[in-house]
Structure 1
Amino acid sequence: MTLDARRTFTRQETWRAWQLQGRVCNLCRRDIPFDLMQGDHIVPWSQGGRTSSENLQAICGSCNLRKGSTPQSVVNVRFSADLLSPSTASLRPWQADAMPIVLSLLSREPVLVEACPGAGKTRFGLEVAHELAAKGQITRVLVVVPSLAIADGWARACSVSTPGAPTLPLRTQRDWRAVDPIGDEWLGAIITYQSLLSSTEMFLAHATDPGQRTLVIFDEVHHAGANAAWGISAQEAFAAGAWGILSLTGTPFRTGRDPIAFVPSEEGNARPHYRYSYDQAIIDSACRPVQFVEARGETTFRTPDHRIHSVTFDDTEVTQVRERGRLRTAIEWIGDGSIAERMLIDANQYLLSLRQRGDTDAAGLVVCIDCDHAARAAGHMASRVLGFRPVVACSRLHDENDPDPANAIRVFRASHDPWIVAVNMVSEGVDIPRLRAVVYLTNRLTLLSFRQIVGRVVRTDPANVDDHGRVYLPADPQLLGMARRITENVDLLPPPLVIVTDGERALRIGSGNGGDQATGSFRGTQHGRRTGGRVRHRWARRTCRSGRLRAIVHRTRGSDGY
């Protein structure tokens, strides 16, 4: 068999065929814009079909995907609900409450559900998809997520290895491309916002495949700003073609300056159809309480005018320039005696104490500014804290879907390694249930980012129900203010610990239940920056060997919930 030397039709040839067909797809007969039409061989090129006008038809992307190199027809076979498996675990109370609300609205309007990190919104999304697919109301599901790491989490949750959620056969970008058909043995696919942007036309085709009724689930939907690239592609692909749209978020967010695609809003704030707050999750034992450890002390830094400033976190009357320099020094300078080092050492001792009490795979996360900062943190931890290098998840390409950090997170999740150092990779939607501590060394200072990072340590673990998450942060007023807003009822949280450095003596939390202390000098200087001093822990009026320690407890009630 001799194949035609020319493989594809020109756009001009396809346009002429589209005009002759009455400006509709030649197979499904839908009125679809020419931009979404493709030139197709009636007799497949691979079977000897000529690339000529007599063998040309203009068809839509979804018909072309399904037809492939098969004979001229439209196959309307759809996914069989017999391939689904229901969950073997009961729904959490909030999931049971939200389910009828969501199911009653989805066919009429886009629905937004807000559930705090760790509450189980991934499982809830899968339960909704299973319920609709089992009843035949939908025949396809497309889940859109911010990164490959989060896509891996969804894939795990819907696999047979996770009995606490329905088993749904969903393809992922690790073994499937948008230009390929989904296939009738699959219910749908899990994709990233970036892949949606790169292949908008293909996902429109998948969503509008002839005979299909598609449910689209947007995870962390705040990424889909209506006027931004990801949000525009989401609207182009799904606004007209999806049977229903379910948006999920783990944190409240504002929509005032940039509306979010498919998200209802009121007075500049997203208005969820159902909200499950962090406060209620703590009361229901669905999430862990979180304890904040505030690092105070003196920082010395040089400003652009070449002046050297020494400022402590107890100084309240400081200019914005000195306040920024104080925080920047505490975050960036990772050296002997630095505030960052004290937080790392203390957090490591906390993990040791948890492991000795039976939480044998307790782990911690260090959130850094960039890859260079992460490398310095990992190097210091290797030489001064751990004796070995922690796992690092960072993309120098500034790409959330970079496979190197995504794979590092996947390996770390299943390992017993105690620490992972990350940059913008473990901040939202990444489920690592064994995380117990976060060291906040990042300059991400929005309330949304802060809540996402804190949310990494609030997930429950049935094997270790009594411990709590712990977040270490410099005692910067802006960070402390955001910490106070994590919950509407501060009495639900353990009282905060305070680390104070002043250069005279040092105490730290020991590896046991009580108050083992270590003494030493913590001073260091590099590039005009210095931090150092005494370390004291203040918690619940306990008395340690070096003196009486008093509690410092936040009693400021936040204006909104987690």
Structure 2
Amino acid sequence: MKLRNWQSECINSAIFKYKTDKHFLALATPGAGKTVMASVLAKLLYDQNDIDLVLCFSPSSIVAHDFSEALAEQFETHFDGTIGALGNSFTYQALNTLDKKVWRLFKKYRVFVIFDEIHHCAGSNIKDANAWGKQIITTIKEKAAYTIALTGTPWRSDALPIVLAEYCNESKQIQCDYVYGLKQAIADNVCRIPQVIALDNDQITVVEGDETSHFTSFIDLLTQSMIPYSKIVTNTNVIEQLLIHSSKKLNELRTTNKEAGALIVASSIDHAWQIQLILKQTIGESAVVVTSDEGNGKDLIRGFRYNQDKWIISVGMISEGTNIPRLQVCCYLSNVKTEMNYRQVMGRILRITDAPNQQAILFIPAEPNLVEYAYRAAQDIPDELAKVKFVQMDEEIMTEASELIESYEEITHDNNQKVANSSKHTIIIDETTFNFDESLSSFSDIAPSEIGISSDKIMGIFGQFNHKELEIHGFEELIISEQSIKKLKQYSSEVF
């Protein structure tokens, strides 16, 4: 297998560091090929007689399956934990439920452990660790022969330390052993240039009792905290407009690339089905819906990966690491507004293929945070998220809403999206406490100021919808092929 230059460099860096340290942290932009790189590294360590077994942990079942396949291809044997296998691939959720026989392997064998999207696991020690981080610290960190931790977004929105990561003593900034950013990946023709198109409206009305308020943009509306962002992404007019413009771009792409597909990221299971209905009524097209309600979600995703269907709708099951290279259009209707979630979703449309047209278009509502993230996408670690804080935790779990949704989208099967065993744990987000028995939609919008807004407010959208292409700073000088995106229009501060 011919490796990309960055993959070879990263493997060589890891081998060199393993001479003095058993832990290695690699930052590579979503879509760059971390799965293949880690699998080849595992095989190289095995061929050098440095390891006996390989275990992999990742945030979702579909990604765990992809790692299992990649490792099986490299080792030419199965990776499912059965007799004759040289290892297995698990989700992070399995960390607390694995049989003791698995942990005994670390005593008898030299085990190489791969952690995908390691930012899900927090903790510099047991005191400030979340549940997954605690397991890694207590059962893997000292017992593994070597580890490689992978991430496309090496920070946490709660600013807690990432497990196994090293930080500068003074600045408390994360120290990655190898960095391969999006700008580098675009220059190397490894990733597509992301084109971001923001939807706005110039006439919005909010009615509360006898009072009527008017707004000329979504930013104007949201900065005054009149309506939560969740009301925008579930508004029928907004959904229709994003779908119409996404469909137009998708159809353009499919004139030269019949396999081009589009991902719609929904806020909840009910929202996903609402979007599917609107897509059918507005455009006359169907979509595959993948949520935790579908017991065959993994099969649906894999089926979409290899067929030529146009649309797939999901809440959190097509997120970090999910590999569907033919996706080139994404409609962001999630009410999660963390930069981590935004970048991971954008990463779903960045994988280069052999298709003649390599455009990647992300449609978003003109929400202020999402617009800001679009401009910062060329940065590897946003300045205000680069530093971490070290806190002491007891029985509380510190996490971020995007992680929570992705994790529990995998394990909950309740139409009302209630999380089981609600009395056992507490979630703290931005100093606001929630119990697991609340619906996901009640805390998936991060800003505490938006929680508890009166539900009797009615929002009407009557004005003209407009779309503006956002020029992402740092990409305008990059030209990767004749089919690459033309320089994006200069974005004016007067747009919103």
**Pairwise same-fold verdict (TM > 0.5):** yes
Instruction: Spell out the pairing of 1:400-479 with structure 2 (5 A cutoff).
Output: 403-464=295-356, 466-479=357-370
TM-score calculated relative to the size of structure 2? 0.73
Name the structure 2 match of 1:171.
79
- Cα gap change, 1:314/1:230 in structure 2, threshold over 3 Å: closer, same or farther? closer
1:321 lines up with 2:225 in the alignment: yes
3-state secondary structure, aligned to 1:379: helix
Instruction: Spell out the pairing of 1:132-531 with structure 2 (5 A cutoff).
Output: 132-160=45-73, 166-172=74-80, 182-183=82-83, 185-199=84-98, 201-208=100-107, 210=108, 212-226=109-123, 227-254=129-156, 257-266=159-168, 267-297=171-201, 298-302=203-207, 307-313=211-217, 316=220, 319-322=223-226, 324-325=227-228, 327-334=229-236, 338-357=237-256, 359-388=257-286, 390-396=287-293, 403-464=295-356, 466-488=357-379, 528-531=458-461
Distance in 2 (CA, whole Å) between partners of 1:249 and 1:206 is 26
Q: CA deviation at 1:468?
A: 1.4
Query: In the alignment, is the contact (CA less than 8 A) between 2:194 and 2:350 conserved in 1?
Result: yes
Q: CA deviation at 1:406?
A: 2.3
Query: In the alignment, is the contact (CA less than 8 A) between 1:539 and 1:552 conserved in 2?
Result: yes
Distance in 2 (CA, whole Å) between partners of 1:140 and 1:480 is 44
Distance in 1 (CA, whole Å) between partners of 2:10 and 2:364 is 35
Distance in 2 (CA, whole Å) between partners of 1:159 and 1:300 is 57
Name the structure 2 match of 1:545.
none
State the identity %. Answer: 28
Q: CA deviation at 1:368?
A: 0.9
String of CA shifts for 1:62-110, please: whole Å, max 9, x gaps: xxxxxxxxxxxxxxxxxxxxxxxxxxx3211111222221012235231
Higher relative contact order (CA 8 A, sep 6+): 2
Number of equivalenced pairs = 392
Q: CA deviation at 1:538?
A: 5.7
Name the structure 2 match of 1:3.
none
Query: In the alignment, is the contact (CA less than 8 A) between 1:291 and 1:470 conserved in 2?
Result: yes
Distance in 1 (CA, whole Å) between partners of 2:4 and 2:285 is 42
Kindly provide the amino acid, as one letter, of the partner of residue 528 in structure 1: I
Q: CA deviation at 1:328?
A: 3.1
Kindly provide the amino acid, as one letter, of the partner of residue 375 in structure 2: R
Distance in 1 (CA, whole Å) between partners of 2:47 and 2:254 is 43
Name the structure 2 match of 1:497.
none
Query: In the alignment, is the contact (CA less than 8 A) between 1:255 and 1:270 conserved in 2?
Result: no
Distance in 2 (CA, whole Å) between partners of 1:485 and 1:476 is 15
TM-score calculated relative to the size of structure 1? 0.65
- Cα gap change, 1:233/1:442 in structure 2, threshold over 3 Å: closer, same or farther? same
Larger Rg: 1
Q: CA deviation at 1:207?
A: 2.6
Distance in 1 (CA, whole Å) between partners of 2:158 and 2:379 is 23
Q: CA deviation at 1:205?
A: 1.5
3-state secondary structure, aligned to 1:295: strand
- Cα gap change, 1:256/1:344 in structure 2, threshold over 3 Å: closer, same or farther? closer
Q: What value does the CA root-mean-square deviation take over the aligned residues? A: 2.6
Name the structure 1 match of 2:418.
none
3-state secondary structure, aligned to 1:158: helix
String of CA shifts for 1:206-261, please: whole Å, max 9, x gaps: 332x2x11100100001111211111122222123210111001123148742222
1:118 lines up with 2:34 in the alignment: no
String of CA shifts for 1:481-507, please: whole Å, max 9, x gaps: 011000149xxxxxxxxxxxxxxxxxx
Q: CA deviation at 1:314?
A: 6.8
Kindly provide the amino acid, as one letter, of the partner of residue 350 in structure 1: K
Query: In the alignment, is the contact (CA less than 8 A) between 1:484 and 1:554 conserved in 2?
Result: no
